[in-house]
């Protein structure tokens, strides 16, 4: 039933936002470091921090060997610089200890569940960052659940709000057919940014109101 609902949601959203086509965005390790930098800041700030990091430290070994304060200075534009610098250094050290190189391209050879397990074993890496690497760098059928995906999903009634973002990854992957995963992810982000906003969604502009549990609840409350 919910898989059919996913198909209907895409059938209505994609004429508005286009059909997303996957293509690799970055190498897996680059994607992982960028994900760490993107936490609790804007895309513009995180991209600026990543470029500053690579300019200051041309190699990952240089990042590891640098004083934490120097790494933090390089990524200051992304916010939470000290916390993120420590995490980046810890993650790089863990990868090197596990593989003898600063490289995650080998994850492409693993089944998705094994690649995810390794990523989640890294210091401070949670379900969202793991899913971002698997999805955007490796093209795996996993759903990175950001604030937009989570909000639109629970409003539509696909998952309960009480589930929380961390557990929503597994729940949505059980609902969304694998061939539709990437398209679903991108469509919900676009819809969340344009229409299904927090805290006040633009329901008058939404093509999904007859499918939406949140809209029905609001209508019943108003009535």
- φ, ψ at 138 (rounded to 5°): -115, -5
Cα 203 to Cα 181: distance, rounded to the nearest angstrom: 24
Which residue's structure tokens are 């000290």? 82
Tokens of 4: 């059919």
Cα 95 to Cα 15: distance, rounded to the nearest angstrom: 42
Q: 135 vs 5, 102, 118, 177, CA distance in Å?
A: 22, 20, 15, 15
Q: Is the dihedral of CA 21, 180, 40, 148 positive or negative?
A: positive
- Cβ distance 178 to 141 under 8 Å? yes
Question: 84, 93, 128, 167: which is the annotated catalytic residue?
Answer: 128
Cα 102 to Cα 61: distance, rounded to the nearest angstrom: 8
Verify whether residue 93 is a known catalytic residue: no
**Residues annotated as part of the active site:** 128
């Amino acid at each position: 039933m919910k898989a059919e609902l996913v198909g209907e949601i895409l059938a209505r959203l994609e004429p508005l936002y286009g059909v997303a086509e996957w293509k690799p965005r970055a190498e897996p390790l680059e994607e992982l470091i960028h994900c760490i930098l993107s936490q609790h800041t804007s895309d513009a700030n995180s991209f600026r921090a990543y470029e500053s990091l690579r300019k200051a430290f041309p190699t990952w070994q240089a990042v590891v060997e640098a004083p934490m304060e120097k790494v933090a200075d390089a990524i200051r534009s992304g916010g939470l610089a000290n916390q993120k610098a420590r995490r980046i250094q810890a993650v790089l050290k863990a990868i090197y200890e596990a593989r003898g190189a600063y490289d995650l391209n080998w994850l492409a050879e693993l089944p998705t569940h094994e690649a995810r397990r390794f990523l989640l074993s890294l210091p401070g890496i949670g379900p969202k960052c793991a899913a971002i690497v698997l999805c955007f760098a490796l093209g795996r059928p996993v759903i990175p659940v950001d604030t937009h995906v989570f909000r639109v999903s629970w409003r539509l009634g696909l998952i309960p709000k009480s589930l929380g973002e961390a557990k929503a990854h597994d729940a949505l992957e059980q609902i969304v057919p694998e061939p539709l995963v990437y398209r679903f992810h991108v469509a919900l982000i676009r819809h969340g940014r344009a229409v299904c906003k927090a805290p006040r969604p633009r329901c008058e502009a939404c093509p999904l109101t007859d499918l939406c549990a949140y809209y029905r609840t609001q209508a019943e409350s108003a009535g």
